Structures are given as structure tokens and as C-alpha cells.
Amino acid sequence: MGFLRAFISVDIPENILKEIEKIQKKLPAFEGKITELENLHLTLKFLGNVDEKILIEVKRRLKEIKYKKFEAKISEIGVFSPSYVKIVWVKLDNCYDLQRIIDEKLEDIFKKEERFMGHITIARVKYIKNKKYFLGELKKTEIPDGLKFKVKNFKLKKSELKPEGPIHKIIEEYRLE
């Protein structure tokens, strides 16, 4: 037994991934990395490096969650800090309640999220030549209406960090009612 880098997430359906890819292609020039389609997801809770013994308890508790399927919608594009641009995201609305329930289930094992904002990281920025121009162009990026999908499950995943980027693998899947 050892430690796994683990997180809880919602996967994005193929049709929405294709729309996100179109948005990624419209991003203004920057030095950094576009998130690969297979790595696009909504992180509900990042657990970090977790002892596999604790993961057994996490799985048990996640199985207890009873929550209805719901619709999530991509609503906007943005960055966390205009003064220090590192992450470009699209916002995913309507996931807060599921995140809060997961947080409460695990609150005595993991620290609660202080300020959850449902987002999908679509790019990681290392350098921008003209920040004002970049942010202005980002504001002009249109998010097509109707980018929504039914969330039917969430997943516990492990993340293996490789030089070419992270590889995410499903540990367990939890169906919503």
C-alpha cells in the first residue's frame, strides 16, 4: 500500500469537449499549454496525495451519497487573477450543491473547500506578451448558448504526473439517481 494523488471529478461529454476545443483554438496567443481534451474535467474536490488505506474510507463514504442527476452549463470564460494570469477556465454552473455534499461527507478527513468555483481548466499560461490585449480578447470570446449536459455521475480518480502531462485514471464511479 502506498499513496495516490487523487481527486473527485465530473467528466465532460464528447459533444461538449468538441465545443471547448473550438474555444481553445480561439484563445489569444500565449506561451503555455492548452489542456488536452482527455484531461478536461470539473474537479469537485482535490484530495492530494492520499494513503490507500484512507482511500478505502473515502470510497465507502462516496457510495453513501444520494443525489439526483442534474444539468450543468458552461456559462463564461475567464482567469482567476487578471494581474497574474496562470489559468484560463470556462465556468461550469450548477455543480455547487454536489460539491458541498461531497465536502461535507469528507470534512473530518479533508479540509473543506474555502471558495469552490465550478470551472474547467482549458489552458495553463506561462507567459503573455501583452496581458491587457490577452484579457481584452478573452472577454470577446463567445461561449455558445446551450453548452449544457446532464451530470449522471461523478468519479474518484488518480492522477499520475508524467513529463508529457498528467494521466488520469478512474478508481471508482458513483452514479447519481
Kindly tell me if the per-residue pLDDT of 59 is higher than 80: yes
Note the pTM of the prediction, 2 decimals: 0.94
Q: Determine what percent of the chain is predicted with pLDDT higher than 70.
A: 99
Kindly tell me if the per-residue pLDDT of 67 is higher than 90: yes
CB 151 within 8 A of CB 98: yes
Kindly tell me if the per-residue pLDDT of 51 is higher than 90: yes
> 10, exposed or middle or buried, with CB in 10 Å at 0-12, 13-18, 19+?
buried
At residue 68, the pLDDT reads: 98
Residue-range domain boundaries for the chain: 3-175
> Could you give the count of Cα atoms lying within 13 Å of 20 in the half-sphere of its Cβ?
31
- The CATH class given to the 3-175 domain equals alpha beta
**pLDDT tens digits for 78-100?**
999 999 999 999 999 999 999 99
Kindly tell me if the per-residue pLDDT of 1 is higher than 80: no
At residue 165, the pLDDT reads: 81
Q: In what order do the strands lie in the sheet with 87-93?
A: 31-34, 119-127, 87-93, 70-79, 148-151
**pLDDT tens digits for 2-39?**
899 999 999 999 999 999 999 999 999 999 999 999 99
Q: Which residues contact 116 (CB under 8 A, 6 or more apart)?
A: 96, 99, 100, 103
Q: How far is it, in rounded angstroms, from Cα 91 to Cα 60? A: 30
Q: How far is it, in rounded angstroms, from Cα 164 to Cα 127? A: 19
Q: Which residues carry out catalysis?
A: 41, 119
Residue 94's nearest CA partner among 75, 112, 66 is 75
Query: Between these two residues, 164 and 175, which has the higher pLDDT value?
Result: 175
